[in-house]
Amino acid sequence: MNKYSTILFDVDGTLLDFNSTQENALNKVFHNHNYLLNDRIRAIYNEINHGLWQQYEKGMISRDKVIYSRFVKLFQEVGIDGDGIAFEDEYQALLGQGYDLISGAIELLDNLSLTHELYIVTNGVTKTQLSRLRASKIDSYVKNIFVSEATGFQKPMKEYFEYCFKRIPGIEIERTIIVGDSLSSDILGGNNAGIDTCWFNPKEEICTVDVNINYEIKALAQLYDIVK
C-alpha cells in the first residue's frame, strides 16, 4: 500500500511556470497599449502584486481587491494615464491563453494518476486557472480542481482545506499530502489542515517562515519515492 493515497497539487510554481506566463502576458498587454515596460516598472508591479496576494492569503482583502487594484496602483505609482481595471481584464485574458509546464509535470501526473487520487488546490483566478489547466491537459489527470475564488476561502486557511476535504470521497487525512512551492500558502496551509507537506524548492531557497516541512524536493521526479 502506498504511504499516501491523496495528493494535493498547487499549480503556479509547482506544475506550471507562472513567471514565464506572467512575463509574456505583461509584455503583450503593455505593448498593446504602447505603455513603457522596463525593469523598474516590472519590479514595482511585482512588489505591489506580491503584497496584495499576501494580504489575500491572510484574509485581509478579497480576491477582487487583489486583481482590480494592482494595475490601478501601478499606474498611479509610475504615472501611466490608463484604465487599470480594463487593463486587468485584458491581462487576465492573456494569462488564460498561455501556459508553460514545469519540467516533468505531465509525466509525473500521468504516472501518479494510476496509483493515487490527485487534486488541484490553487489561489488563482477561476476563469484563468481553468483555462490554463485545460490547455496544458493537467485537468485530465486530476479528480477535481479547487480554486479559492469558488470556495469562499483561500490557502492557507483551514476552512479552505475543510471545504476541499468534504468534496474528496473517502479521504484519509493521515494519507494525504500537499505539494507546493509557497511556504506561506501551501506549506502553512498543509500545517493548518493537519496534513503532510512537500515543499517544491527548485531554486534551493532558504526557509525563512515558521512552518513544518515534511519533505523538500528540487525536482518533481523526486516525489515518486515520497508518495509510494
Which amino acids are annotated catalytic? 10
Cβ proximity of 154 and 203 under 8 Å: no
**Cα distance between residue 33 and residue 94, in whole Å:** 14
Task: Determine the 3-state secondary structure of 155 from DSSP.
Answer: coil
Whether residue 156 has a cis bond before it, omega within 30° of 0: yes
Cβ proximity of 189 and 211 under 8 Å: no
Cell of residue 158, nine digits:
483551514
CA 119 to chain centre: 13
What is the spatial order of strands in the sheet that 196-200 belongs to?
Answer: 144-147, 117-122, 6-9, 176-180, 196-200, 215-217
Beta bridge partners of 7: 118, 177
